[in-house]
């Protein structure tokens, strides 16, 4: 894609690569996890070379995702601190859903919904990682009661994460121009001014 010199850089190559590593790992973990969650999904293990290989690969893919998610969270945590204007944005979110987002409170690089999603993913990732470690019997043996409790929390956290990611993908598709930012790293000035006016002002110095 040929870049317009007036476009604004939203994500650099490193940030985009970090995002896609986490995203791809999540898809692989969701598919392999569902295979163990219910017999109806067990055929999904064929994507990983069968049941034994799926059981072996699942936790290691989880380690990769956890590491890259921590890097990503550290990169974006400061930008996702909830501010009073984000609360105002959330109170008026119905306007945006109705397509009337021109009068929404001015937002920075991320809006209130994106910030809630970010912290929801952080909580989900923390739960899914800790419980996953407790369940990893290939490396250590814990009391069966601990493993069972961890398994339940792990499943709940996984459903939580899948739900949030579906919302994330839907919102990215619904807001035209958003996916381009993570594919190519840039957004148009019109997109930035409409959806993230505060960030647009900071990037351009335009106070109109």
Report all structural domains of the chain as residue ranges with CATH numbers, in order of start: 8-204 (1.20.950.20)
Pick the catalytic residue: 102, 168, 195, 196? 168
Tell me if 147 sits within 8 A of 135, measured CB to CB.
yes
Separation CA 2–CA 5 (nearest Å) = 9
**Per-residue confidence (pLDDT) for residue 78, from 0 to 100:** 94
CA terminus-to-terminus distance, the chain? 29
Q: What is the pLDDT of residue 47?
A: 93
Report the 10 Å Cβ neighbour count for 140: 8
Cβ–Cβ < 8 Å for 185, 9: yes
Structure confidence at residue 118 (pLDDT): 96
Rounded Cα–Cα distance for residues 193 and 206 (Å): 10
**Active-site residue, 58 included:** no
List per-residue pLDDT tens for the chain, 208 residues long. 556 778 899 999 999 999 999 999 999 999 999 999 889 999 999 999 999 999 999 999 999 999 999 999 999 999 999 999 889 888 887 877 666 666 777 888 999 999 999 999 999 999 999 999 999 988 888 899 999 999 999 999 999 999 999 999 988 888 788 888 989 999 999 888 888 888 998 888 776 6
Residue 129's pLDDT is: 96
The three-state secondary structure class of 182 is helix
* Amino acid 98: pLDDT: 66
């Amino acid at each position: 894609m040929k870049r317009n010199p007036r476009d604004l850089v939203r994500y650099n190559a490193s940030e985009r690569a970090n995002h896609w590593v986490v995203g791809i790992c999540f898809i692989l973990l969701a598919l392999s996890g569902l295979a163990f969650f219910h017999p109806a999904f067990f055929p999904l293990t064929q994507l990983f070379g069968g049941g034994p290989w799926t059981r072996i690969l699942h936790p290691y893919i989880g380690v990769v995702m956890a590491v890259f998610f921590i890097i990503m969270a550290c990169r974006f945590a400061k930008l996702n601190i909830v501010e009073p204007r984000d609360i105002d944005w959330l109170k008026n979110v119905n306007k945006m859903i109705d397509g009337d987002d021109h009068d929404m409170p001015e937002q920075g690089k991320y809006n209130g919904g994106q910030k809630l999603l970010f912290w929801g993913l952080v909580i989900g990732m923390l739960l899914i990682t800790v419980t996953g470690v407790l369940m990893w019997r290939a490396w250590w043996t814990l009391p069966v009661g601990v493993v069972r409790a961890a398994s339940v929390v792990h499943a709940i956290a996984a459903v939580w994460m899948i739900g949030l990611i579906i919302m994330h993908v839907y919102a990215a598709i619904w807001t035209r121009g958003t996916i381009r930012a993570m594919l190519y790293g840039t957004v148009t000035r019109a997109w930035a001014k409409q959806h993230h006016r505060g960030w647009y002002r900071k990037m351009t110095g335009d106070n109109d």
